[in-house]
Structure 1
Amino acid sequence: MLEILLRITIKHTLKARLLNVGITVQLLIDTFDVVGVVHYGIAGSTNDSFLIGDISVPKYVAQTSSWNGMEGALPELKFGDYNLPIKGENLLAEIEFTQVQLYSTGRPMQELFWLEIDPKWFNLATQLQACFQVNSPLFSISQKVDLQ
């Protein structure tokens, strides 16, 4: 049974935040018997008809908008070109696509664009629908999901 459900929002604006998230997860793993980590973000980014509290369970994920405003020049889209009334500098700089680094026990690190969700975790995530009341973004504590 999933004893600890960790929900960590990762904001990809600063690399230091990713480091802090990594350190925090490592501390939790060292201290508790963590079964897994569930990362969540804004489902509305995948479909503009989703509302706050809606759940989206993808089979695959990709990091399609890695914002890079402080480093080298790999522009695919220069925001400054769209400044009005005239083109100019823009602190958003550019968007680039980034591969995900997948680390698995006993395997070398892989760099992937599409990261497939582990089937066991995908099944668990789809079971979460039963934990929500109709038209309510709040958890119903009467339901449980099982990892096995």
Structure 2
Amino acid sequence: MNIKTNMIPSLKKAKHLGLLFSFILFQQFSTNAQTSNKIESLISKMTLEEKVGQMTNITIGRVAIETGDKINIDQDKLRDVMINHKVGSFQNVMSHAYTLENWHEMLDNIQTMNMKESRLKIPILYAIDAVHGADYTLGSTIFPHNLGLA
């Protein structure tokens, strides 16, 4: 009799875990379907120019102005590239290291304009060439390239 009494909490626990797992599994499939539907809907709304723009990656230097120890964005150039030409991606290639705060300000500037003014509000993809580490950030550690370690 003692054995049956001890088994009941274990069975209840297993039942609850099974229900929880089923819910999580269902939620995962539901979310994937919702995401896929949203993506398909977004792609169907895009013009050919917007699709090409999303696959275009240009260097940030195209819209940036380096002034000594700070990097600023030329708003007119940024608007032309992102809004008029639909460019969806920037590559971080600059000649100097800048503070983390300066990078945050610049990236926020880019995303804010994009989310306010672009037609479909697709976030900008920002790529960083960090083979040596965070070498575009002032005070960061630079590591040797893999080839230099061989």
Higher strand share: 1
More helix, by proportion? 2
Query: Same fold per TM (> 0.5)?
Result: no
TM-score (norm 1): 0.27
Structure label with greater radius of gyration: 2
